[in-house]
Amino acid sequence: MSDSDPHASADEAVSEGARARAQGRPRDACPYGQNTPERTAWLEGYDGATMDRAPDLPIGNG
């Protein structure tokens, strides 16, 4: 992995998280340390959603 591309490790972590979920591993199996970009990416892959996106609001009744 190259130090010149900081997104490469995060992209890989997303794939690892998605693969872990598909294999039935628990969410707390994330191998990355607390408060690291790789952990955030791994959890995004596991959950199938990005953390930097606001949650969807419910559709109004009117």
This prediction has a pTM of: 0.70
The pLDDT value given to residue 53: 58
- pLDDT at site 60: 72
- Cβ-contact 33, 4 below 8 angstroms: no
Higher pLDDT, 5 or 13: 13
Contact (Cβ atoms closer than 8 angstroms) between residue 14 and residue 43: no
Q: What is the pLDDT of residue 36?
A: 94
The predicted structure's pLDDT at residue 10:
85
For residue 22, the 8-state DSSP code is H
For residue range 14-55, what is the model confidence (pLDDT) as tens digits?
999 999 999 999 999 999 999 999 999 999 999 998 776 555
